A and B are shown apart, each in its own frame.
Chain A
Amino acid sequence: QVQLLESGPGLVKPSETLSLTCSVSGVSISSYYWSWIRQPPGRGLEYIGYIFYTGSTNYNPSLKSRVAISVDTSKNHFSLKLTSVTAADTAVYYCARGAAVSSSPLWFWGQGTLVTVS
């Protein structure tokens, strides 16, 4: 079955770069849209952006200047980098898989990983 697993440091210092990887199993990373979403503690969901397996990306304008999402098809994983972090970037970060079109729901989610900026 499809499984996604986020990994990366749980603590990042202010002004540094947050880096997370989402390892995908049970399906090839090719042919689908792959997304990052975050959720500050006790708050709602914020869409960060997506990448298609070809490398095409789209980012939330509110984060666009600081975000980069990349994909490594040979390792079947994709990654998130968020630069110049502040305490406002403290959140649970989820990776998720859509479908072969960008307008699909987020069908599969990772368990999420808490990243604290402090």
Chain B
Amino acid sequence: DIQMTQSPSSLSASVGDRVTITCRASQSISSYLNWYQQKPGKAPKVLIYAASNLQSGVPSRFSGSGSGTDFTLTISSLQPEDFATYYCQQSYSTPDTFGQGTKLEIK
């Protein structure tokens, strides 16, 4: 299985901050990397797909980059509704695997 390692596992930040979350794959996954946002009690939802493509309806303050083994999710200016847990997921080879998650909390 391809292992996905996210960092940090938790992060405290303020409204208006710029935040970056990283995800590293244990082997190359090309651009088959997706980012999800999950709020408490809710299912995850796609934010970014294929490493850098913004899902329809997702605010443009979210962006993704990377290819191969190293990827980043950036939120350019945190808004109150962005405090949630974020997961990366590789869909390059089965089984799909997720990172352990990054919990973004209000400072």
Contacts and interface: CB of A to CB of B under 8 A. Distances in A.
Contact of A44 (B1, B43, B49, B100): B100
B46 A47 contact: no
B61 interface: no
A104 B95 CA distance: 12
B63 interface: no
Interface residues of B, number: 23
Interface stretch (A15-23, A53-61, A69-77, A78-86): A53-61
Interface in B73-107: 87, 89, 91-92, 94-101
A110 interface: yes
Contact of B89 (A58, A60, A105, A111): A105
B45 interface: yes
A110 B46 contact: no
A109 interface: yes
Nearest to A59: B95
A114 B39 CA distance: 16
A61 B1 contact: yes
B46 A107 contact: yes
A45 B98 contact: yes
A46 B91 CA distance: 13
A45 B50 CA distance: 19
B46 A45 contact: no
Given A105-B89, A112-B43, A47 B97 contact: yes
B44 interface: yes
Nearest to B100: A44
Nearest to A50: B94
A60 B43 contact: no
A33 B25 CA distance: 23
Contacts of B101: 44-45
Interface of B: 1, 32, 34, 36, 42-46, 49-50, 87, 89, 91-92, 94-101
